[in-house]
């Protein structure tokens, strides 16, 4: 079952007297249970592609369907509804609020859901998501009382609590040392084995190997896609 489908998608940023072709004629289908890594050097279009997948950025041409709904012709409010329903985001910088407990950080997006979720449903989802990332025992802590790796696990729980169709993950290990980075990548791998669909941007070729397949970008063009060999990345 296809969740996301890009067909011949291009994105051009129009400046005063320059045009930047950030991505060009990208074709990508992501099915339920998939785990895709988007790789490529700085400036190759990875962030742009992830922003498009997350409906944070409009496409200049082509087609983008989420569960068979063409998104490019929708107004901003309808796009936001689709985003809230289908997309979970995980960022390099965690984006947790320091004044709130772990529980409240994970609960916050759910409290803005339309139609509103019942309080016990929110609690069920928050504790379920914290359990999935093994952070239940830290529900009452504040983010600054946690390691970077633990904060990233909370951020992953926040995304999971929305019960999205797909997790869009941007350089999840960028602010972590290698030990915490490895642990976060192992967690994403485990979530995928349990059924979570993931699309991750990484410039770290070693971590790209955790995905089931890779899309490699160069100057906005897809230069290759490959099926990852798990052995070659864990051997280091």
Looking at residue 140, what DSSP letter applies?
A: T
Q: What does the alpha-carbon distance between residue 53 and residue 75 come to, in Å, rounded to a whole number? A: 16
The residue from 43, 109, 148, 189 that contacts ligand ADP (CB under 6 A) is: 43
Contact call for residue 22 and ligand ADP (CB under 6 A): yes
From the CB of 171, what's the least distance to ligand ADP, in Å? Answer: 6
In our burial notation (b when 16+ CB lie closer than 10 A, e otherwise), range 83-118 reads bbebbbbbbbebebeeeebbbebbbbebeeeeeebe
Please identify which residue in the block is written with the tokens 């290698």: 178
Stretch that binds ligand ADP, among 45-53, 102-110, 126-134, 139-147 (CB under 6 A): 45-53
Contact call for residue 13 and ligand ADP (CB under 6 A): yes
Nearer to ligand ADP, 171 or 204 (CB): 171
Q: What does the alpha-carbon distance between residue 231 and residue 14 come to, in Å, rounded to a whole number? A: 43
Nearer to ligand ADP, 13 or 147 (CB): 13
**Would you call 18 helix, strand, or coil by DSSP?**
coil
The residue from 42, 77, 98, 231 that contacts ligand ADP (CB under 6 A) is: 42
Stretch that binds ligand ADP, among 2-10, 27-35, 46-54, 228-236 (CB under 6 A): 46-54
Contact call for residue 132 and ligand ADP (CB under 6 A): no
The residue from 5, 40, 139, 215 that contacts ligand ADP (CB under 6 A) is: 40
From the CB of 210, what's the least distance to ligand ADP, in Å? Answer: 19
Q: What does the alpha-carbon distance between residue 162 and residue 85 come to, in Å, rounded to a whole number? A: 8
Q: What does the alpha-carbon distance between residue 126 and residue 188 come to, in Å, rounded to a whole number? A: 18
Q: Please, what sign has the CA dihedral across residues 143, 36, 54, 84?
A: negative
Contact call for residue 44 and ligand ADP (CB under 6 A): yes
Contact call for residue 48 and ligand ADP (CB under 6 A): yes
Binding residues (CB under 6 A) for ligand ADP: these are 13, 20, 22, 40, 42-48, 171
């Amino acid at each position: 079952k296809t969740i996301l489908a890009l067909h011949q998608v291009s994105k051009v940023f129009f400046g005063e007297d320059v045009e930047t072709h950030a991505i060009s004629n990208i074709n990508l289908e992501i099915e339920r249970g998939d785990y895709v890594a988007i790789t490529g050097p700085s400036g190759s279009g990875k962030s742009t592609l992830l922003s498009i997948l997350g409906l944070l950025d409009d496409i200049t041409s082509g087609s983008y369907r989420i569960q068979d709904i063409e998104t490019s012709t929708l107004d901003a409010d309808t796009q936001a509804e689709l985003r809230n329903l289908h997309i979970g985001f995980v960022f390099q910088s965690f984006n947790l609020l320091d004044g709130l407990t772990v529980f409240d950080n994970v609960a916050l997006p759910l409290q803005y859901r339309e139609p509103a979720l019942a309080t016990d449903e929110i609690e069920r989802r928050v504790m379920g998501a914290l359990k999935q990332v093994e952070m239940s025992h830290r529900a009452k802590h504040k983010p600054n009382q946690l390691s970077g790796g633990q904060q990233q696990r909370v951020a992953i729980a926040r995304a999971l609590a929305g019960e999205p169709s797909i997790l869009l993950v941007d350089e999840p290990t960028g602010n972590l040392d290698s030990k915490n980075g490895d642990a976060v990548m192992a967690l994403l791998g485990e979530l995928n084995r349990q059924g979570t669909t993931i699309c991750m941007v990484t410039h770290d070729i070693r971590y790209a190997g955790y995905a089931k397949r890779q899309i490699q970008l160069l100057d906005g063009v897809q230069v290759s896609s490959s099926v990852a060999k798990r052995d070659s990345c864990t051997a280091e």
